[in-house]
Each structure stands twice: as C-alpha cells, then as structure tokens.
Amino acid sequence: MALIVQKFGGSSVADAVCIRRVAARVLETRRRGHQVVVIVSAMGDTTDDLIALARQITAMPSDREMDMLMATGEQVSVAMLAMALHALGAEAVSLTGPQAGIFTDGMHRKAKIMGIKPQRIWKHVKAGQIVIVAGFQGQTPTNDIATLGRGGSDTTAVALAAALKADRCQIFTDVEGVYSADPRIVRNARKLDEIAYDEMLELASLGAKVLMARSVEFAKKYGVELEVLSSFSKAPGTIVKEEVKSMEDIVVRGVSADKDQAKITLGGVPDRPGVAARLFKDLAGAGLNIDMIVQNISARGMADISFTVSEDDLAKARRVIQSAARGVQARAVNVDTDIAKVSIVGVGMRGHSGVAFLMFKTLAERGINILMISTSEIKISVIVRKRLANKAMIALHKAFCLDKPGSTRTTPPNRLVRRPR
C-alpha cells in the first residue's frame, strides 16, 4: 500500500462530467489499495471568471481581498469532488488549504508555503478516507487566506507530497505530458518520457503550461519525483526527476515561448554605482519577479537599463519603477508589451558548444530580430517581437531536430560539437 498524491488541474474538473471522471480515476487508485490525497484546482475558467468579477468593481483590487475571492474557486471544486466520490460509494472528505494545515507567508496572491501541519490529513487518511485538498491556498500568520499565485495547485501537491512523504506525486492535466514544444503551435512536438528538474524549471512556461516553476523548485528541493500525465487518457506521462548522466546526451530538450512578458526600459540613468541596486530593491520589495536584465552604457556617462516582467505584474511594476525612476534621476521610462521570450533548454548544453550560434543563425535566417539575450548554463533565451514568437519556436524546434522521432534519444545535430570532458 502506497500513499499517492494526485493533482487535477482546472480543465480536468471543468464540469460535473469531468469531476465524475476524476472521481472514478481517484477511486481506481484507492481500490488498488493505495491511500490517496487529491489536490484540485478551481473548475475550468473559474479563476478567470472571479478575476473578471472583481474587475467589475475595481481595476485595482487589494491583494488580500482578491485572495478571499479567488480561494472560493478551489473550495467549490473540493466539495464537488467529495460529493462525486460519495456518489460512487467511496469515503472522502474535502478540506480547504487552511483546514489541511497549509501555512503560508503573508504575501497575498503570491504567497509561499512556509510549513505544513498534516495532522488533520493523516487523521482522515488513517480513517480510510480519500482526502481532497483545495490547491492554490493556505493560511497566513494573521489567519487570513492567501493564494499561491498561478499554478499554485501544483505547488500544493508537491508540498503535500513532501510533507506526507508520499510514494508518488501525479500531476494530471489536459495534455499527455511535457512536450518538446507547445503542441498547439509546433505540430510535430513530441512528448518527453523524462525531463530533469532544472530543464523543467527553465521550460516552466512550455507547452500547455503543464507545471509552474515554483512547484518544480519545490519538487527538486524535497526530491519529490513528479509524473505529469493526462486525466483524459491512460497513456504514461512524463517523469520529472533528478538529473542523471544519460540526460546529457540530449543537447536541447525543448523550446518554449512566453508571450505574457513586458519590457520596461529606463533611459538616461546616471551611470553611478548603486543605481541598479536601488531600482531592483524597490521592485523586489513590491514582490515583483524581474526576469531578463540588460544594461547598456552610453557615451555620456548615462545608462539604459531594460528588464522584463510578466504582464500580470506590469501595472504594479510601472508604479514602482516610476517612483524609483525619479529617485535615480532617470530621464525616461518606456514600456514595451509587444514582445515574447523564446527559449531553448537542455542539460546537454553543458557538454556541447555551438548551441547559441545555431540558435542565432536559425533566427537570423528567418529574418527574426533579437531584442535581448540572456543565458544560463542550460538555457538560452531571446526576446523577439510577439508576432514572431511562434515562427521562432517552429524554426528552433526543427533546427535542433526535436521533430525527428527518437531525436531526444539520439545524437545532437552535426553542427554541434561534443565538448571534451
């Protein structure tokens, strides 16, 4: 008898029919003799609907009240799934995040799980009940409800799997696993059998946004092996796990494009030490995640500083940066939302040279201009115009042979040279 954590996303519980299907799938696992803890997201578009509802009141709702509002989405799902399991004759009980003992910090809408007190979950599990926990939410130190931000249900699942020392953590979604690229855009994208945590982290926005970065970080930190699989089929999914040597044979595991990005440029910033530090301190203090940062120094001792943020954070970032810009005497603040970030990712990059060259050459041949570049050990990202993102992704997918059957298990393209070890 194993303890299995199963997480079902919003599209898996979109309506009553879907919820009954999920109930049957959960019960199947239970009937095989396993203990099951289920995490569910809000039904279908509920979260978006709730955001739209709030927008009818104000364009700038407080984060605390947004959490109060949005947490209802998952609460509806858990109750519905418990009812569906009862209807199948199973014993099940639903819990909100706070009831499940999920404690977070006080950073509303982007809360981090600080700890889990799983006593209540254990009590129900030991009583033979299937425990259904609302994803995406927890309780702050001041007894308020906080949400973990988009993809937070995955984080809940991983955190619970770690806290309960579960034998397996299955992330059910509407795709069959992690793909070499978003299959809606790159038609011959292929499902990966396995992927390393670090690759998954870089590709967090890949494909159908199957896993968010924070849940993968959590999984890596606590060594929770994830399986990403479809709630609509019985096909095996993709295993996300610790990197093993053989993984380095693949140079590029996947290509991704993130279109929800905005670029903010501060022009004419005096080129003095501490200016960048001051800017990014203010942004960090507001809980904003800054991604690519580029600084150019012009001739007259002035610098241009550009960085990207997710479009969700743009309004807040704009406010923060406008006051910070005055503080550092910047001449202008410019915002560009017509951009997308296209990335190639693979732990095999560490062992091969020429990867960046092939990427830039491929884009140049397609007439795709590169606006910004950033690299890590296992990733190269470029900012391009939004309308060119899909074209770039398709071209890169082909150039790195990700479309060839078995390519992820074969040698890299011959333009790439294996580095001597």
Partners of residue 345 on adjacent β-strands: 254, 379
Check residue 66 for interaction with its own copies (CB under 8 A). yes
- Contact region with its own copies (CB under 8 A), list: 48-56, 158-166, 302-310, 398-406: 48-56
Closest CA to 116 of 77, 172, 155, 78: 155
Check residue 61 for interaction with its own copies (CB under 8 A). yes
Taking the complex as a whole, how short is the minimal distance between the CB of residue 30 and its own copies, in angstroms?
17
Taking the complex as a whole, how short is the minimal distance between the CB of residue 150 and its own copies, in angstroms?
18
| The one among 5, 13, 19, 303 contacting its own copies by CB under 8 A | 19
- Contact region with its own copies (CB under 8 A), list: 73-81, 277-285, 327-335, 375-383: 73-81
Check residue 56 for interaction with its own copies (CB under 8 A). yes
| The one among 50, 185, 239, 333 contacting its own copies by CB under 8 A | 50
Give phi and psi for 264, each to the nearest 5. Answer: -115, 130
Instruction: With beta carbons less than 8 A apart as the criterion, state whether 341 and 386 touch.
Output: no
Q: Is 165 left (phi over 0), alpha (psi -120 to 50) or beta?
A: left
Taking the complex as a whole, how short is the minimal distance between the CB of residue 165 and its own copies, in angstroms?
24
Q: Identify which of residues 62 and 410 has a Cβ nearer to its own copies in the complex.
A: 62
* Site string (123-162) toward its own copies, x via CB under 8 A: --------------------xxx-----------------
| The one among 28, 65, 193, 365 contacting its own copies by CB under 8 A | 65
- Contact region with its own copies (CB under 8 A), list: 70-78, 150-158, 192-200, 320-328: 70-78
Check residue 94 for interaction with its own copies (CB under 8 A). yes
Taking the complex as a whole, how short is the minimal distance between the CB of residue 52 and its own copies, in angstroms?
10
Distance CA 129, CA 123 (A): 9
Three state DSSP letters for the chain: CCEEEEEECHHHHCCHHHHHHHHHHHHHHHHCCCEEEEEECCCCCHHHHHHHHHHHHCCCCCHHHHHHHHHHHHHHHHHHHHHHHHHCCCCEEEECCCCCCEEECCCCCCCCEEEECCHHHHHHHHCCCEEEEECCEEECCCCCEEECCCCHHHHHHHHHHHHCCCCEEEEEECCCCCECCCCCCCCCCCECCEEEHHHHHHCCCCCCCCCCHHHHHHHHHHCCCEEEEECCCCCCCEEEECCCHHHHHCCCCEEEEEEEEEEEEEEEEECCCCHHHHHHHHHHHCCCCCCCEEEEECCCCEEEEEEEEEHHHHHHHHHHHHHHHHHCCCCEEEEEEEEEEEEEECHHHHHEECHHHHHHHHHHHCCCCCCEEEEECCEEEEEEEHHHHHHHHHHHHHHCCCCCCCHHHCCCCCCCEECCC
Check residue 16 for interaction with its own copies (CB under 8 A). yes
Q: Identify which of residues 147 and 306 has a Cβ nearer to its own copies in the complex.
A: 147
| The one among 80, 200, 250, 262 contacting its own copies by CB under 8 A | 80
Check residue 49 for interaction with its own copies (CB under 8 A). no
Distance CA 173, CA 232 (A): 8
Count of positions on this chain that bind its own copies (CB under 8 A)? 38
- Contact region with its own copies (CB under 8 A), list: 87-95, 185-193, 209-217, 343-351: 87-95
Check residue 51 for interaction with its own copies (CB under 8 A). no
Taking the complex as a whole, how short is the minimal distance between the CB of residue 286 and its own copies, in angstroms?
18
| The one among 5, 84, 181, 305 contacting its own copies by CB under 8 A | 84
**Other CB atoms within 10 A of residue 370 CB:** 14
- Contact region with its own copies (CB under 8 A), list: 54-62, 235-243, 253-261, 367-375: 54-62
Q: Identify which of residues 81 and 162 has a Cβ nearer to its own copies in the complex.
A: 81
| The one among 14, 51, 68, 239 contacting its own copies by CB under 8 A | 68
Check residue 315 for interaction with its own copies (CB under 8 A). no
- Contact region with its own copies (CB under 8 A), list: 67-75, 195-203, 375-383, 401-409: 67-75
Taking the complex as a whole, how short is the minimal distance between the CB of residue 111 and its own copies, in angstroms?
16
Distance CA 361, CA 243 (A): 29
Check residue 15 for interaction with its own copies (CB under 8 A). yes
| Binding site residues, its own copies, CB under 8 A | 15-16, 19-20, 50, 53-54, 56-58, 60-62, 64-66, 68-69, 71-72, 75-76, 78-80, 82-84, 86-87, 93-94, 96, 99, 120, 143-145
